Structure 1
């Protein structure tokens, strides 16, 4: 096996658009679940709304990339309002069922042929990154970086914008959770009836958290869409589970945990997707094909998620006392 190539690919994934997009989505989920106690199982829906909002406005209305991105964020905020106003009075498992159903409804709307002219249906949308690349200060024909982090100007521009967006998201969440507003969210997570008895509008706080977290997830969807086409096949239920895995791995009630969890998650995904087929090819796993070996990594992710919830629900950076479901 070519270990140098395997390790190089793994290291390269650390700053990939997928890693940065997952980190933003996990940060939004941390706002929902880690700080407010909302079990949102439809985070993929928020990512889809952001990505499609960006792509559709870029193609149909020729919006500049920054305005198209802002439109995607606003669309996700509106989606959060539409979802949250009738459902945020639900608790626990009931909210989880509603959110996962809402995300699936969004995916099917983008998939249906009824809006093929707008969404591209199963084919998705592509060719909308022109305005974004026109703002690229780097030469797309030149290569920058070193070692596994050597990319052309186009790839670096996506990564630079992704890193800046993630840094802004982390700063916003860090400032908010240290404010009285953030402390109110923690109180709602622990005992919303007690917070309500103090005269706080619990529903308003939950709705604000849902909107903010949804917009962060939408930003993650936009970052991922900057490098590849938007397709409804990306925003499936498994994407939500991957975001949850990254969140729980780093720490749900933390600011930097989602970033660390996403980095580790994608590094492991890349490592396994390279090493398992290589082991089959080298004869170490003669009982499966290379395609089967590539699929095994999803089984390992599922097992890892179960083990995390059972043995380390607080995550790497989290505090076990922060999570209500382990009391």
Structure 2
């Protein structure tokens, strides 16, 4: 039971980590590209890397932190224009080829020894060179904090039945929350939104009761960076909610399903695609900035595999949905940690060592993704009607 508790604690820590939040932001941007517009962008990691480099290099060279954020967004804007101008008038396959190639070019330029004084070459830029101004913004006190100090240890001395009951209630609450999110018009808008908020708060409290987390308030990987990262996730979801329910958002769906029909209405399809590519790329750049706040700017950490992880998370949560990217990202990283930690704990080293357990987790995730695409292509929160892509 203690081993299982360790595994579940690791899963919760991964679920609330700033890197998970950063990838969720990037997946939200990818959802604008692929989910709503039908643009097959295979270089989202390139946008993330440009955002990270723009912020990291600027602060490393002694310029203000706010200017670094602007440089990160500016680099992503230029990258989107360079990609979009020659390819957006063509079909989606060409965009996929160009974006994955361009993202790899950026990664290899970052690794170049000729730019060591700016990018740190393959070693990257240490977090200590650029995270200081971000930590200085913290209004949190010093010391550490355990969220929800009242936890399972305080009930029957943490007996097994307490944790089993807590897990059962948590699973039920999550299932009810997913049902409400997918309920559509079965409930009135006000009642549905109220129940979603109450169930979300209740589920979070249950998780913190079962898996108490203790972190420094303002450390490199403390509550401050987690607070900022997940607050940005909430803001990004709200912005996308407003965008896709506007007339512009309806145009995105129309382009995805039949761009010729939208063009026949006198709309500039190229301009709308370019706007979608830029906005989704800016979300990716923001995700890249958040990704390196708790670590360092490493070019290989944001390679093509990260783009594939983003697509996995998007398909898992549900494309063309508001909360699907966030849910899919959490499920992807939590599931991978569950498989990896479980293999390390329960499988002898003579059969599978730590490195092999990590590889095994990706194999299982890949198989799960194939089964998902076959049996539930719309993902957890998606709608089959949103899958009629014209790419």
* TM > 0.5: yes
Structure possessing the higher radius of gyration over alpha carbons: 2
- Give matches, 1:9-88, under 5 Å: 9-64=10-65, 66-88=66-88
Structure 1's 148 and 301: CA in aligned 2 closer, same or farther, altered over 3 A? Answer: same
The secondary structure found in structure 2 opposite 1:143 is strand
- Give matches, 1:194-273, under 5 Å: 194-273=261-340
Task: Specify the alignment match of 2:113 in structure 1.
Answer: 113
Counterpart-to-counterpart distance in 1, 2:50 and 2:102: 12
Counterpart-to-counterpart distance in 2, 1:151 and 1:163: 16
Task: Specify the alignment match of 1:171 in structure 2.
Answer: 238
Task: Specify the alignment match of 2:136 in structure 1.
Answer: 134
The secondary structure found in structure 2 opposite 1:125 is coil
Q: Which runs of 4+ in 1 moved over 4 A?
A: none
Counterpart-to-counterpart distance in 1, 2:347 and 2:390: 40
Counterpart-to-counterpart distance in 2, 1:141 and 1:122: 34
Structure 2 unaligned residues grouped into runs of 5+: 149-210
CA contact (8 A) 1:188 1:202 kept: yes
Task: Specify the alignment match of 1:320 in structure 2.
Answer: 384
Range with bigger deviation, 122-131 or 74-83: 74-83
Give TM-score scaled by structure 2 length. Answer: 0.79
CA contact (8 A) 2:37 2:253 kept: yes
Counterpart-to-counterpart distance in 1, 2:67 and 2:368: 39
Range with bigger deviation, 190-199 or 289-298: 289-298
CA contact (8 A) 1:12 1:148 kept: no
Displacement, 1:326? 10
Displacement, 1:76? 1.0
Counterpart-to-counterpart distance in 2, 1:77 and 1:144: 40
Displacement, 1:325? 4.7
**2:378 aligned with 1:311, yes or no?**
no
Counterpart-to-counterpart distance in 2, 1:140 and 1:265: 33
Displacement, 1:12? 1.6
Counterpart-to-counterpart distance in 2, 1:140 and 1:241: 38
The secondary structure found in structure 1 opposite 2:307 is helix
CA contact (8 A) 2:38 2:389 kept: no
Deviations 1:104-156, CA, capped at 9 Å, x for gaps: 01111111111111000100001210000011112343334244432111211
The secondary structure found in structure 2 opposite 1:234 is helix
Give TM-score scaled by structure 1 length. Answer: 0.94
Displacement, 1:92? 2.6
Counterpart-to-counterpart distance in 1, 2:265 and 2:252: 13
Structure 1's 227 and 140: CA in aligned 2 closer, same or farther, altered over 3 A? Answer: farther
CA contact (8 A) 2:316 2:328 kept: yes
CA contact (8 A) 1:112 1:122 kept: yes
CA contact (8 A) 2:37 2:273 kept: yes
Displacement, 1:195? 0.5
- Give matches, 1:267-282, under 5 Å: 267-281=334-348
Displacement, 1:309? 2.2
Counterpart-to-counterpart distance in 1, 2:389 and 2:368: 18
Displacement, 1:182? 0.3
The structure 2 residue matched to 1:293, chosen from 347, 357, 366, is 357
CA contact (8 A) 2:343 2:352 kept: no
**2:91 aligned with 1:91, yes or no?**
yes
Supply the RMSD in Å over aligned alpha carbons. 1.7
Deviations 1:183-214, CA, capped at 9 Å, x for gaps: 00100000001111111000000000000001
Displacement, 1:80? 0.8
